[in-house]
Every structure is written in structure tokens, then in C-alpha cells.
Amino acid sequence: MDCFPDDVAEKLGWYVYRLIDPRNVETFYVGKGKANRIFEHIKAAVVPTEDEDAVDLKLQRIKDIKDAGMDVLHVIHRHRIVSYEVASQIEAALIEAYSGNANRVGGNRSGDFGCRFSAQIVAEYSAVPFVPLEPLMLISIGRSLEHDSKDIYDFARGVWRINPARVARYNLALAHRRGIVLGAYRPSRWVAATKVNFPWLDADIEGRIGFEGERAETEVWEAYVGKRIPDAYRERGATNPVRFIW
């Protein structure tokens, strides 16, 4: 099957789905959509959103499945969802539940309100919120931090799908996980997302950039690291891992 009958597509409304690799029955992508969005991946016709690119969507894996003479398995977890916003919340929960998936972004506000232990909840909400003293970037590294061994600086510096002209106005980048600041850095220059600039990449990624820089001075580090992002700055941003203050 590569599409729904028209009457079925109309009745589905918003839905949340999983793509499964039949070779190992592994969920490799979680998404949301309407109509035939679930099938657009296998047609390589899916249009990346502002938070996605071809790497995120794992189109190469779909090609490998096809080359093995098999078909991607499609599962719809919940349909007739009342709105995009509710679908985003369900999607975020599934992304966390299926931790082996290829979604690079954790889902709508998962960095703020996603899965964690009760002790982590207490630690986060007991932390003192920081006071922004200058224009800064908030960079969520939570999902990456759970699946790799790079240090916090490397997680913070890239690679991101953001406007180079915009980031040039910000001289402080705060790396945070689930609302707690883990590192503060001064970008000195922004570079393209290539294997030369970021050796851990599997391949160059067009349209993404990252920074080179250094740890912020001691007084700045102490003003932010270990503190909580103020609630006023946790209400926006949706799935985008980079937010801007001021």
C-alpha cells in the first residue's frame, strides 16, 4: 500500500505514526501528519519541515530496505486527533518511548516536559532560574546527550539548521538539558556542517551550521550553569532545539 483510499484519508484527520524496518522490526521514525503523509517517506516525496532535513528523515534507510526487496511497515498509533498541537504532544511521547528511532529532534517541548525520573523532576524545578544578562542562544542537547559520548561543548556547537545572519548577533550560547544549563560558550565563528569541521558527522549536511568557540568566562559560567531556564523562555520554541533570548 502506498496511499489511503480518498474516503479513508479524509476520515483519519491528524494522526501519529511509526515507520518500522521489517529486517529487525525496529521503529526508525515517528511522525505526525494528515492524509498520505505516512507514505510520502517511501516515495522520497516527503517535504522536510523547518526542523527536519533528509538526514533526519532517514531516507537512506528506506532505500536500504527497498534494496533488500522488502517494504517499510507503517503503523498508525492514534488517528482522528483533534489538532496539530495535540498530535505534536502524542508524537513527542512516542519519540521518547521508541528511543532507537532516527528522530534527531525529541518532539514538541519534550526537552521541557518530556520523560524523566521523579528525582530529576525535583532537581529541575528546585533549581534557581537564571537572569539573562545579554542576548543569548538556548541550545537543547538533551536527546543527543543520551545517545553519544561527546562532551557538552561539541554537543552545543552543532550542527543546527539556523540562519547564519541571525546567530551572528548572539555572542553567548547556553547548552541545556531538560531546562538545566550545562555549559556556556562564546562562539568565535560559525562554519558549515561538514566532516572537516565536525569530524563525528557521517557526511556533510547541507543547510546546517555550527560554531567554533570557547568556554565562557568564569563569571558568566557561574551566572548560568546549573541554573534553570526561566519559565518565560520555556513556553515557545516547539520542537526547534535552538531558541533566542532578546
Residue type, 121: I
CA 226 and chain centroid, separation: 22
Could you tell me if 77 and 196 lie in one domain? no
Q: What's the number of domains the chain is made of?
A: 2
Confidence at residue 178, expressed as pLDDT on a 0 to 100 scale: 78
Question: Is residue 58 in some structural domain?
Answer: yes
Question: Is the residue at 89 inside a domain?
Answer: yes
Which residues of the chain are under the pLDDT cut of 70?
Answer: 44-57, 99-117, 119-120, 123, 143-149, 235-239
Whether residue 228 sits in one domain with residue 122: yes
Can you read off the three cell numbers belonging to residue 172? Answer: 553567548
Residue 29's Cβ-count burial label (10 Å; 0-12, 13-18, 19+) is: buried
In the prediction, which pLDDT does 108 show? Answer: 47
Domain containing 102 equals 6-108
Residues 101 and 123 in one domain: no
pLDDT of residue 227: 93
Is the domain of 134 the same as that of 180? yes
The amino acid occupying position 155 is F
Question: Is the domain of 194 the same as that of 124?
Answer: yes
Are 226 and 135 in the same domain? yes
The pTM of the whole model exceeds 0.75: no
Cβ atoms of residues 191 and 167 within 8 Å: no
**Shared domain check, 142 and 70:** no
Domain termination residue (choose one: 62, 77, 108): 108
- Assess contact for 214 and 185: CB atoms under 8 A: yes
Question: 3-state class of 19 per DSSP?
Answer: strand
Write down which residue in 79, 108, 137 finishes a domain: 108
Question: Domain of 44: which CATH number?
Answer: 3.40.1440.10
pLDDT, residue 107, reads 46
Per-residue pLDDT, 237:
42
